[in-house]
């Protein structure tokens, strides 16, 4: 699908990475909004892009060293015992400024809770020779890492980019549809680029809904629970709230009555579901 509605963010990212000094950039937002695509649009063959997984720290460091070794010769010939060792060595080996992107950053923090504090020290020392980009889809964890006033990385970013769903007008351009059809499509797929890609693989709206959403084998069949697990502390509570709302309760007092809970206890969870 065509890269749309991200031009301003692309320009900001490029400006941050091409500035006079090394930059620390944060890119976050819910899953499937095109964060990785945006970053890859800006990175060059001299940069390092590493997407983390949920394996142990030593394995993650080894994989990152291999990625760096594709840009800096023999960098992966050394065994790095911890994150401080590999990031410090990278700083020493950097001759010309490049960009290092750590995608799915929350996965790294899960196996290495010390990593944010280490990055804070490197950033505060102002000796970092390369640009550092961290990116993540778990909004709950990313916001805790960068927006919480007590977090080590709070206030350190030179540029923060939060990706939001794409505007409906771009869907009309992609589908070449009239206004009514576009609203119908947007009501199903929203502004999520990945959903649009799946939609474009089918001829009709109903066919695509049946194939991608309603079929237990469909790509999006379990998407709601995956989103809850990414962004909500209490998945059961979120599912229950949506079930009550779906059954017709649309006022806070009515929702609270059905759940037999004080309305004041539901304001926070409902706000997160918006």
For residue range 120-130, list pLDDT tens digits in order: 999 998 888 99
Q: Which of 89-93, 153-157, 193-197, 231-235 has the lowest mean pLDDT?
A: 231-235
Q: Which two tokens mark 198?
A: 């799946």
pLDDT of the residue at 2: 66
Give the pLDDT of residue 120.
94
Please give the pLDDT value at position 235. Answer: 61
In sequence order, the β-bridge partners of residue 101 are: 49, 133
**What pLDDT does residue 184 have?**
93
Distance (Å, whole) CA 238 – CA 183: 26
Strand-pair category, 159-162 with 99-103: unpaired
Co-location of 23 and 58 in the same domain: yes
Model confidence band, residue 140 (pLDDT cutoffs 50, 70, 90): low
Position 232 confidence tier, pLDDT thresholds 50, 70, 90 = low
pLDDT tens-digit profile of 173-205?
888 889 999 999 999 999 999 999 999 898 899
Q: What total number of domains does the chain contain?
A: 3
Residue 227 clears pLDDT 90, i.e. is over it: no
Q: Which residue has the higher pLDDT, 109 or 149?
A: 109
Determine, yes or no, domain membership for 263.
yes
Q: Which domain holds residue 250?
A: 232-274
Give 129-166 as a DSSP string: -SEEEEEES-HHHHHHHHTSTTSTTTT--SEEEE--PP
Mean pLDDT of 52-64: 93
Long-range contacts formed by 228-236: CB under 8 A, 24+ apart: 230/30, 230/31, 230/137, 230/138, 230/139, 230/140, 231/30, 231/138, 231/139, 231/140, 231/272, 232/140, 232/269, 232/272, 233/140, 234/269
pLDDT score, position 231 = 67
Q: Looking at residue 97, which CATH number applies to its domain?
A: 3.40.50.300
> Are both 17 and 152 inside the same structural domain?
yes
**Distance, CA of 179 to CA of 13 (rounded, Å):** 33
Residue 34 lies in a domain: yes
d(CA 212, CA 112): 36
Residue 262 has pLDDT above 80, yes or no: yes
The confidence score (pLDDT) of residue 1 equals 59
> Which position has the higher pLDDT, 65 or 256?
65
Residues 146 and 76 in one domain: yes
Chain mean pLDDT for the chain: 89
Q: What angle do CA 57, 62, 65 make, to 5 degrees?
A: 125
Q: Are 49 and 184 in contact (CB under 8 A)?
A: no
Domain assignment of residue 221, yes or no: no
Q: Of 72, 73, 75, 27, whose CA–CA distance to 51 is shortest?
A: 27
Q: Is the pLDDT of residue 233 over 80?
A: no
Residue 22 inside a domain? The answer is yes
Do residue 67 and residue 200 come from a single domain? no
Residues 119, 253, single domain; the answer is no
Last residue of a domain, one of 128, 147, 162: 162
Residue 245 CB-density burial (10 A; 0-12 exposed, 13-18 middle, 19+ buried): middle
Judge if 132 and 113 occupy the same domain: yes
Examine residue 226 and state whether it is found in any structural domain, yes or no: no
**CA proximity to 219, closest of 31, 6, 4:** 31
Residue 1 covered by a domain: no
* 51 in a structural domain: yes
Has residue 63 got a pLDDT over 90? Answer: yes
What pTM was estimated for this model as a whole? 0.84
Angle at which helices 168-175 and 179-189 cross, to 10°: 110
State whether 63 and 185 are in the same domain.
no
Is 181 found in the same domain as 125? no
Same domain, 97 and 190: no
Last residue of a domain, one of 162, 180, 199: 162
Both 28 and 127 in a single domain? yes
Q: Do 199 and 146 fall within a single domain?
A: no
- Cβ-proximal residues to 49 (8 Å cutoff; 6+ apart), any chain: 39, 40, 43, 67, 101, 103
**With bands split at pLDDT 50, 70 and 90, how would you rate the model's confidence at 219?**
very high
Rounded CA-CA distance 45/143 in Å is: 30
Does residue 174 share a domain with residue 76?
A: no
In a domain, 110, yes or no: yes
């Amino acid at each position: 699908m065509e890269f749309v509605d991200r031009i301003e963010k692309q320009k900001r990212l490029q400006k941050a990475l091409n500035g006079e000094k090394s930059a620390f950039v944060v890119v976050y937002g819910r899953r499937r909004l095109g964060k990785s695509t945006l970053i890859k649009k800006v990175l060059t063959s001299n940069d390092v892009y590493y997407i983390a997984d949920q394996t142990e720290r030593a394995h993650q460091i080894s994989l990152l060293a291999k990625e760096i070794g594709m840009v800096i010769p023999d960098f992966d010939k050394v065994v790095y015992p911890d994150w401080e060792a590999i990031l410090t060595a990278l700083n020493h080996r950097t001759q010309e400024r490049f960009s290092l992107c750590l995608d799915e950053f929350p996965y790294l923090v899960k196996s290495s809770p010390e990593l944010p504090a280490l990055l804070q020290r490197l950033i505060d020392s102002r000796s970092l020779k390369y640009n550092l980009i961290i990116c993540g889809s778990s909004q709950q964890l990313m916001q805790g890492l960068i927006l919480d006033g007590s977090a080590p990385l709070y206030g350190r970013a030179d540029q923060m980019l939060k990706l939001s769903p794409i505007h409906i007008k771009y869907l009309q351009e992609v589908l070449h549809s009239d206004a009514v059809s576009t609203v119908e499509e947007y009501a199903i797929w929203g502004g999520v680029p990945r959903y649009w890609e799946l939609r474009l693989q089918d001829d009709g709206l109903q066919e695509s809904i049946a194939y991608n959403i309603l079929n237990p084998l469909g790509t999006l069949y379990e998407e709601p629970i995956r989103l809850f697990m990414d962004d909500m502390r209490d998945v059961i509570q979120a599912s229950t709230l949506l079930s009550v709302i779906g059954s017709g309760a649309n006022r806070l007092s009515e929702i609270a009555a059905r759940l037999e809970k004080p309305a004041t206890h539901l304001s926070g969870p409902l706000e997160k579901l918006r």
